[in-house]
Structure 1
């Protein structure tokens, strides 16, 4: 036996071939190419027996190959048998952060096999730990083991700390980049066994895999005990689906489908279907007595369903196909199933399918639009636009003249079962001439003729009519800027900007008797008014995250109008009064410091000395993630006066508390009370939600497991 003097040697064998765990992490590096690279071994001492052709490296042994490092107290390399044995403080690491550790490791270069004793495999991307008394390599990317534990929880093995959660199996297989599968599996919290699964399958790679999602238990006085069950299907890299089954002990059962497909960044489709079978629809309505069914007709029966479909696709020749379809089984559906408060209260649903083509100055849109009036049991009298064709041209200069020309035009086919329908063609060109008489003002007079042609179909027959009128308009606007402070880069300089604007609009009276009234285009009255507004901003330019941004401290806007037509209107009787001054419309946004904001906007009625409408919101936040807001809203036309307040409190780095309260002053009752408690640990989390509305009181509990997300693939559960 001879002793090698240097402490570094190069050997031609592969540790990559034997442990593709590492090559998987190094961005899919070609195994055949890297395995031909020599292995560099460093040690305190290296001995070579020429008779047996065996290397023995001892003391701080480190083997390196293509970014992969294997360390041990001792390594024995048999060049004849093609084997390597590493013992003592065994560990391995690759460039992707994946790790290997254990008591000993035996590699067979000829059979490309390996045995890791009392070992742990750690996958950095998913933070997954797989531990077993013996892990055997049985294929190019496959491993087998006896009793095994799977977890994503970091814990101290030396102290005997147990993971917060784990899955233990009697036997298992691991396929690198795909799945961990186990038989006779037990889900544990610490050392406490909670669930038994005959078979379990979970991913060991970044992409989501098909499988059952964690169920969502809950309780509601309307639904009783609830359990939401979900199955996720990863159909392809660009396509997936989620299947839902909801079981409510006191109400019924529901099934759903969410289908998603992304062909490119700009082309995608999403389909949402949900069907629910009610046990007793009258019992459900009984919980809505206090809200008077939101004025919805009683059109629901035992079979409830909803269809939502969105699609966005770029076609050849720069055409874009879009769809936004919303259909429900009955007018009461959104009251019972919609979680978003704004969508829950909508009076109608709209579905559109459109084909669009845009140029620099022109746009073309072909659109099919369907309306569902949720306040009417039957929609025979609801007008549908099937189809509507619009062509728009932005202002374009006419050769070298000072004039600009623009165009807005449309052609619509209106249909409905009951009532007047027909077709309408509307053409509205616009000629304008921007002028700059001074340094600070821009004045733009414009002339816009508008011609509309109708074909009306009613019981008495088919009729044709038209109208022609002209709009004269002059806009004057100015922008005044004053900087406070000096800086070569403009950083820190306070900028005050004022933009006054005044417009005069005149549309002569045109006889429109006999023309149909399909929408707002048909209801353009004689106009003779003066509009004026002023807005002001105070801002500062600064650098944030390497980008230059302008921080706005104050935004203030006031707008008003005077109606000459109203001022000259003939009075109806002695009690009638002219009101030529419109509401004063105002908006104020304050951001005095980074974490405080205040927004208020409203319409003030000069004749009644009251606000017809106003909204005010005050918001506080901090860099920890805490947030508090309070909003007050008043709309006299709708008879709505309510307040909303909410807060997010970072109680602890692992505990968030969210509170929300909505109260109606005109109804003198709470509209919604909600509490969310979110608990987050390193490898798991839970959200407990309590919500109370006038119709329902709900309690939900949702769990998440890190590395699995909410995903656990099970073939059967007991």
Structure 2
């Protein structure tokens, strides 16, 4: 019963909104204007057959409401399987195209709060017009008076009076024009002054002084069109001559005007044309009817322009350590330069200061510099007495020649030997590769048939090799790439080239190791057949690589196995080729209710690459690659070109989809397996035995959306020869229109976990749950938990309880996540508790240490986001 009432109200609301938007013209902006000293007045009778706006609104609203509530329309809209039914409301709402409702650029009304602010007028762009030549037009049902009577010189307008100039309007029941006083005065129960950016209503009279260019209103209520902000004023004066607006004894709030949980009260508020900020005096913040804060003066923004000052602070509480607090300070240095400085106290690291400087010197150059400085970190376990820690990150993007030429800088660094900084100190938006910080300068140039790139890349290792089985990655100083590609009839051509100089500092005898790699890879593809859903392609690729690596003699012996070589040659030239042939077809049939379509898409591919012993080539930037359905059809069995796999294989795959009546995909199943006619003798670790089996594990995956809001994903890697599942992951998520969502996930990787304590591999078994549960229209409970089953420890648990009112929110948060102590090689739990409070549009107190205070993303794992089959 409750649902029915809400549905009926929604339809009625749509109808009224549509009618209101069509019947009303744009609200006008309160731009200060001037008028000429001489005022000419003329009157004329409007055609009697002109339809009035109110009757148009009422008629249209009644017709739409009636039509949408008929039994036929209800049944029509309930059938979600007909495209016309799903577009029926949209076709009605499309009537708004000529006059759509819009949110304001400042303090816009959020979609979830639209019901709270029902009736707020639409925002309109101000219209630029000449105030000296644009006439003031007054329309009404009737007009009477005598301008020739020198004693009075009055005209009296009655009934639906609209006074208009440009895009500004005053509406009233009655208006009196005085030629003697040069005024227009409205009389009636309610007068409305509307503008593009805000609307004012008053029960008192509105007096417009034509000579002084001043409009006076008594007690009034005002609302920013399309925005949350609204207020009241005992007196409201618009001085168009001086370009000022003054509100006496004013209140201001972002709550609905008839339901204020909080408001600001000021003795006087002034705004001036051309200024970016307004002034308010004797300001008091009320929570309910209780004053909680006072300031004699406040300066507030009225445009998008920025100003230096304090930003919203954040605070957090740890049950084991205490309170953390951060106070951001914003610095508006120039129109294209600004900065944020954040002094902070953290119970773990004590005094910290972070900063970010952003710059846009030219429209094609932008970037930022971030940094964090900790003067004395008591939590850092180091042998040095100096416990100063710091971090810097520089990013810059520049483009030239219409984005054809791009220059990118990405540089991150911490103090030398501070291997645990990233795990100890939460740092956002940094790029880490193989436990190392990226330091890169890249220049790229792209054209229709070729592209070029030049990159210098280094890394700062974030793990000490004495405690972790890792090694420092090679720097590329530099790497130059060039590619050319073209198409001619059924042929496509590609040539990829690369020249890279690898180096590694401070190896044995304090030597720098240098190695060079030159690579050329031409490819030609012939599109043999493409018709009726069937394709057949042939391809031929060449690999020519030359290495100069005599400096490997300076590498420690322990690096040989890690870098994949048992012995090495100073100069090596490797020449290989690949032949491939692939075919795919798509078959369809009608299934289920004969309105669904099932496809059957078999795919087969043959690949041949001859064997070449590569055990004397080091692994400079190559590693193992995770296999799935799609990689079985790729010739790149390794991530990188230092190893090229021997192939004489056939890969067979099958994909089946189910499409609904709208051809939207609701189910997809894929399975593939490769058969190698030869043993795979090319390997990453030169000491590993090459696999004897010829059949690859079976790769399978399922993605499904069986009902609205329900998504399922499953993927597995199964080896039938030893009857073992090597990888398996599955996740399920359900979301409905009420805001409820629930999801679960599980993943298993055989030998996919690394035990730091004893440097052994173990199976990975992880399970997770997440939920968003609306308890009422205002209360919401959300949380997520993830646990490692094999080693029996909690990865991350988070719980939040949120109250969301029209004008404020309160969120209680708790999170308990695993944190690694790299010095002691042990896990420990870090527990946080915090309260986030927000007065919408005014103030927000955040929670330090909790990345997503409003959702189910945790410290380590983001919220489930399953594949959208129709994206």
TM-score of the two chains, using structure 1 as the length reference: 0.80
In terms of fraction of residues, the more strand-rich structure is 1
Structure 2 unaligned blocks of 5 or more: 1-28, 36-121, 508-512, 556-567, 623-639, 754-763, 819-828, 847-871
SS at match of 2:706: strand
State whether structure 2 residue 572 is matched by structure 1 residue 466.
yes
Within the candidate set 144, 147, 162, 1:63 is matched to 162
State whether structure 2 residue 751 is matched by structure 1 residue 657.
no
Q: In the TM superposition, what is the alpha-carbon distance from 1:42 to its structure 2 partner?
A: 2.1
Within the candidate set 122, 137, 152, 2:254 is matched to 152
Structure 1 unaligned blocks of 5 or more: 1-13, 286-296, 544-548, 713-718
Structure 1 residues 346 and 522, CA gap change in structure 2 (3 angstroms): closer
Q: Answer with 433-442 or 327-336: which moved more.
A: 433-442
What residue in structure 2 maps to residue 322 of structure 1? 408
Q: In the TM superposition, what is the alpha-carbon distance from 1:534 to its structure 2 partner?
A: 0.8
SS at match of 1:334: helix
Structure 1 residues 620 and 265, CA gap change in structure 2 (3 angstroms): farther
Q: In the TM superposition, what is the alpha-carbon distance from 1:593 to its structure 2 partner?
A: 2.0
1:246-265 to 2 correspondences below 5 Å: 246-248=344-346, 251-260=349-358
**For residues 527 and 205 of structure 1, what CA distance do their matches in structure 2 show?**
65
Q: In the TM superposition, what is the alpha-carbon distance from 1:236 to its structure 2 partner?
A: 6.7
CA contact (8 A) 1:536 1:555 kept: yes
What residue in structure 2 maps to residue 172 of structure 1? 269
**For residues 362 and 487 of structure 2, what CA distance do their matches in structure 1 show?**
34
State whether structure 2 residue 517 is matched by structure 1 residue 418.
no
Within the candidate set 311, 334, 347, 2:435 is matched to 347
Structure 1 residues 144 and 567, CA gap change in structure 2 (3 angstroms): closer
Structure 1 residues 28 and 246, CA gap change in structure 2 (3 angstroms): same
1:291-690 to 2 correspondences below 5 Å: 302-316=387-401, 318-329=404-415, 330-338=418-426, 347-376=435-464, 381-394=472-485, 396-397=487-488, 405-419=493-507, 420-436=513-529, 440=534, 442-454=536-548, 456-457=550-551, 465-484=571-590, 494-510=597-613, 513=616, 515-520=617-622, 521=640, 523-524=642-643, 527-540=646-659, 550-562=664-676, 564-566=678-680, 578-639=692-753, 640-690=764-814
Structure 1 residues 577 and 696, CA gap change in structure 2 (3 angstroms): closer
Q: In the TM superposition, what is the alpha-carbon distance from 1:411 to its structure 2 partner?
A: 0.7
Structure 1 residues 610 and 227, CA gap change in structure 2 (3 angstroms): same
**For residues 286 and 708 of structure 2, what CA distance do their matches in structure 1 show?**
45
CA offset digits 1:38-70 (Å, max 9, x no partner) = 321426664346123442536546232134331
Within the candidate set 197, 208, 212, 1:107 is matched to 208
CA offset digits 1:479-523 (Å, max 9, x no partner) = 122142799xxx95514031322223222224664x544232564
Backbone CA RMSD of aligned residues = 4.2
Q: In the TM superposition, what is the alpha-carbon distance from 1:357 to its structure 2 partner?
A: 1.8
Structure 1 residues 175 and 615, CA gap change in structure 2 (3 angstroms): farther
CA offset digits 1:305-332 (Å, max 9, x no partner) = 3333443332127112233333344322
**For residues 620 and 31 of structure 2, what CA distance do their matches in structure 1 show?**
73
CA offset digits 1:604-632 (Å, max 9, x no partner) = 23444222222111111112232111111
Q: Answer with 653-662 or 263-272: which moved more.
A: 263-272
**For residues 196 and 784 of structure 2, what CA distance do their matches in structure 1 show?**
43
Q: Answer with 28-37 or 346-355: which moved more.
A: 28-37
CA contact (8 A) 1:281 1:301 kept: no
State whether structure 2 residue 838 is matched by structure 1 residue 704.
yes
Within the candidate set 190, 193, 204, 2:288 is matched to 190
1:45-64 to 2 correspondences below 5 Å: 46-48=144-146, 50-55=149-154, 57=156, 60=159, 62-64=161-163
1:107-256 to 2 correspondences below 5 Å: 107-138=208-239, 140-156=242-258, 163-175=260-272, 178-205=276-303, 211-221=309-319, 224-233=322-331, 241-248=339-346, 251-256=349-354
CA offset digits 1:547-575 (Å, max 9, x no partner) = xx642422323233436125999xx99x9
CA contact (8 A) 2:644 2:682 kept: no
CA contact (8 A) 1:307 1:327 kept: yes
**For residues 333 and 669 of structure 2, what CA distance do their matches in structure 1 show?**
49
Q: In the TM superposition, what is the alpha-carbon distance from 1:586 to its structure 2 partner?
A: 2.0
Q: In the TM superposition, what is the alpha-carbon distance from 1:388 to its structure 2 partner?
A: 0.8
In terms of fraction of residues, the more helix-rich structure is 2
CA contact (8 A) 2:312 2:328 kept: yes
What residue in structure 2 maps to residue 9 of structure 1? none
Relative CO higher for 1 or 2, CA cutoff 8 Å, sep ≥ 6? Answer: 1
Q: Answer with 63-72 or 171-180: which moved more.
A: 171-180
**For residues 93 and 327 of structure 1, what CA distance do their matches in structure 2 show?**
58
State whether structure 2 residue 186 is matched by structure 1 residue 83.
no
State whether structure 2 residue 178 is matched by structure 1 residue 92.
no
SS at match of 1:646: strand
CA contact (8 A) 1:499 1:536 kept: yes
CA offset digits 1:525-547 (Å, max 9, x no partner) = 6614414131313142665xxxx
SS at match of 1:667: coil
State whether structure 2 residue 130 is matched by structure 1 residue 28.
no
**For residues 676 and 298 of structure 1, what CA distance do their matches in structure 2 show?**
40
Structure 1 residues 130 and 456, CA gap change in structure 2 (3 angstroms): farther
**For residues 323 and 98 of structure 1, what CA distance do their matches in structure 2 show?**
45
What residue in structure 2 maps to residue 290 of structure 1? none
CA contact (8 A) 1:467 1:512 kept: no
**For residues 131 and 568 of structure 1, what CA distance do their matches in structure 2 show?**
78
Q: Answer with 257-266 or 55-64: which moved more.
A: 257-266
SS at match of 2:679: helix
Q: Answer with 204-213 or 64-73: which moved more.
A: 204-213
What residue in structure 2 maps to residue 715 of structure 1? none
**For residues 435 and 348 of structure 1, what CA distance do their matches in structure 2 show?**
46
CA contact (8 A) 1:18 1:113 kept: no
